[in-house]
A and B are shown apart, each in its own frame.
Chain A
Amino acid sequence: MSRFSKLACVALIGALGATSALAAGKGAAPAANPAFEGLGRAATPAEIRAWDIDVRPDFKGLPKGQGSVEQGQDVWEAKCATCHGTFGESNEVFTPIVGGTTADDIKTGHVKNLQPGSSFPQRTTLMKVATLSTLWDYINRAMPWTAPKSLKTDEVYAVLAYILNLGEIVPADFVLSDANIAEVQKRMPNRNGMTTDHGLWPGKGIGTGKPDVKAVACMSNCKTEVKIGSTLPDYAETAHGNLAEQNRTIGATRGKDINAAKGQPAAAAEKPSANAQAHQLAQASGCTACHGLTNKVVGPGFNEVAAKYKGKGDAEGKLVAKVKQGGAGVWGQIPMPPQSLKDEEIKSLVQWILSGAPAK
């Protein structure tokens, strides 16, 4: 990328940011910045609506709607229970959503199980979350994991009502809506547990504390080099497959790339083969979140699937149907949710899996 186009990119983002902020604030036509004459364009109201979905602690931005506990149970069983368990109690795929809160916590707004000396083994979502808007916003923008933003507004209300009922924050016949959500907020178990006085909030005005980290320069007897105290033995490095492949590609945590350690570069320079394309598709579609190429993660490894169906003529059709409709029981109790991929994509994935799922 040339120096010029980089600059242009930055300018474009800057211009878009400025105009959308103005448009969102006033709803008026944005003023052109003479420094960026001819660059970018004002975001359309539809674009801003699609982007501006956050719900704030005072429920600003919350769309109108409602959902009952009962409706929430139906959505939950269809889309959420596979990972979170029927009662939000499952610890198998994610940490539990429900548990650890008491009627007393709802009264005081402080969760006793978070206090020092508690014997409760874990921190569940309902123990930690202080603002109901956070749950609403998160479910709305990120759930279900395999199809984020697919829930209707009323379904988000319903699912949230169901979770709150599991936590015994609302009764079983409760209907959560934009009108009464602020009332429910006053019953959140950890509503008074949020602190802002730790200097980790951006900007002025929210909390005054300083982060409890102190980088003090060492002045005497300083260590001159970093010594690694312990490492995994070679035979254990592959115990959970190639961690670098299983992690998201954003953020700091990667995991060691085992292929790179063996001297095989992870990224091939030539045009990707059919196998590599199928592998990419599997990664992009979220398959590899639960299935390893050569190892069990949550679901069976692709090599295990290939071995099980080897030499069976009807395996392809059967697996295509399984991927489409989801299934459970063959490899264990954790069900696989139905996958919404194109038919030819599923077919190519199944063929690739049956061929042993080579990475490239």
Chain B
Amino acid sequence: MADPMKIRAANKDGVTEVKILMSHEMETGQRKDASGAIVPAHFISEVTATWNGKVVLQGEFGPAVSKNPYLAFKFKGGAKGEKVTVSWVDNKGDKRTDEGTIA
């Protein structure tokens, strides 16, 4: 199980801005370790953010995304105290879901 994501969400003038810092190795599968063997690819492949059960962002990540990815987006709606739920799935089937409260 990976480390938790850090999630901040803030509502301003009816628009909620969500900032997410995910904790993930994001191995490209192109790197070699000290002994010359290829480090197997290990990266987040899908990210989904929901608010009130409604999907507000869905994205496909790939090996080009950096280690410990940072993601920020805005959506219309959201109110103080409501929850934004973010989850990812990586290419090895690992999953992680975390929740942030809108400030």
Residues of A within 8 A of B (CB): 73, 77, 85-87, 89, 99, 117, 166
Contacts and interface: CB of A to CB of B under 8 A. Distances in A.
B68 A85 contact: no
Contacts of B72: 86
A79 to B, nearest CB: 15
Contacts of B68: 89, 99
A71 to B, nearest CB: 13
A206 B57 CA distance: 56
A77 B68 CA distance: 20
Contacts of A87: 6, 8, 19, 21, 70
Contacts of B6: 87, 166
B66 to A, nearest CB: 10
A126 B7 CA distance: 20
A86 B70 CA distance: 10
A87 B69 CA distance: 12
Interface string B2-22: 000010101000000001010
Nearest to B10: A77
A166 B8 CA distance: 12
9 contacts: A73-B8, A77-B8, A85-B70, A86-B21, A87-B6, A87-B8, A87-B70, A89-B68, A117-B34
Contacts, number: 19
In this complex, the interface size class of chain B, counting residues with CB under 8 Å from chain A, is: under 10
A243 B6 CA distance: 38
Contacts of B34: 117
Given A86-B72, A89-B70, 7 more contacts: A77-B10, A86-B8, A87-B6, A87-B8, A87-B19, A89-B21, A166-B6
Nearest to A86: B19
Contacts of B19: 86-87
A103 to B, nearest CB: 9
Name the residue among A85, A86, A117 with the largest chain B CB count within 10 angstroms.
A86
A85 B6 CA distance: 12
Contacts of B21: 86-87, 89
A89 B23 CA distance: 12
B73 to A, nearest CB: 12
A166 B6 CA distance: 9
A35 to B, nearest CB: 61
A89 B70 CA distance: 9
A285 B41 CA distance: 48
Nearest to B17: A86
A89 B72 CA distance: 13
Interface in B1-55: 6, 8, 10, 19, 21, 34
Nearest to B67: A121
A66 B6 CA distance: 24
Nearest to B21: A87
Contacts of A99: 68
A73 B68 CA distance: 21
A127 B68 CA distance: 16
Q: Which 7 A-B pairs have the closest CB atoms?
A: A87-B21, A86-B19, A87-B6, A86-B8, A89-B21, A89-B70, A99-B68
A77 B19 CA distance: 12
A168 B22 CA distance: 14
A240 B4 CA distance: 40
A86 B5 CA distance: 13
B71 to A, nearest CB: 11
A117 B33 CA distance: 11
B98 to A, nearest CB: 13
B103 to A, nearest CB: 9
A187 to B, nearest CB: 17
A332 to B, nearest CB: 13
Contacts of A166: 6
A89 B67 CA distance: 12
A45 to B, nearest CB: 43
Interface string B70-89: 10100000000000000000
